[in-house]
Amino acid sequence: MLKDITLGQYFPGNTIVHRLDPRTKLILVTVYLVALFTANTLFALGLVAVYLGMIIVVSKTKMRLLIKGLKPLIIILTVTGLLNVFFTPGEPIFTLWRLVVTWDGVSRGVILVLRVVMMVMGTSILTYTTPPMALTDGLESLMKPLKRIRIPVHELAMIMSITLRFIPALIEETDKIMNAQKARGADFETGNIIRRARAMLPLLIPLFMSAFRRAEELAIAMESRCYHGGVGRTRMRALKFARCDVIAGLVAAGLFGAVMGLVVIGL
């Protein structure tokens, strides 16, 4: 299960999506999420799905990776969908014991599950195609106006970048600890949910110790390189918008306008 978590991983490539400015990608993801949660019908949601499919094809992201990232959410998606199917009032389809399945419940459950799936896929493509340092520079550039009210923009962007970079490392460390404890007779796969949760408790202490050790090593490395925040800091690569960024922005704007139009007319 831990190996199925792909959030925070970067896969190098030379596609149009990889070459986009990180600020453009962050803006596009924001517009995509707004359009996704604005779409309240299957037709509007289908339009967003076509846009997502186009991005997957252009970025050459393997569908296997996107599906793999959804595996940890299977239980949540199943429970969420069933709760909407059985507990949404409307025109009944059939009755299962005391639970009534309605057309509105089925429609609402499908839309909600699709939203979560498409949200995870869309945000995963952002991290798959953008290096963590580029994301840091993009976030800092977009949040630069907040410096006027004395918000530490550079530090916040650095924290987000370090968090994304540490996710794969902590997952790998957790997997190593689990394998070591399995070799000593620990059982993480049998029993009910409560028993499995209790079996995970011995993982916390070594995992926290490993995380603190990594954090200390990172802090020492940053101090030894005279890192003192964003004051006077320069970049090796300056961020510049290109023609492909403008085209990508126009396509995203067209998607948002089309979704809003469908929502207004009720399709």
Q: Supply the pLDDT for residue 6.
A: 60
Q: Supply the pLDDT for residue 233.
A: 66
- List per-block mean pLDDT (blocks of 10 residues) for the chain, which spans 267 residues: 60 86 90 88 86 90 82 81 78 74 81 88 87 82 82 80 77 80 75 71 81 86 78 70 88 87 78
Q: Which two tokens stand for residue 195?
A: 């028993």
User: What is the DSSP secondary structure assignment for residue 237, as one 8-state letter?
Assistant: S
Alpha helices in 11-102 (DSSP H): 16-19, 22-38, 42-59, 63-70, 74-87
Q: Supply the pLDDT for residue 236.
A: 67
Q: Supply the pLDDT for residue 231.
A: 66
Q: How far apart are the first and last CA of the chain?
A: 39
**Domain parsing of the chain, residue ranges:** 1-130+238-267, 152-233
Q: Supply the pLDDT for residue 127.
A: 84
Give dist(CA 83, CA 78) in Å, integer: 9
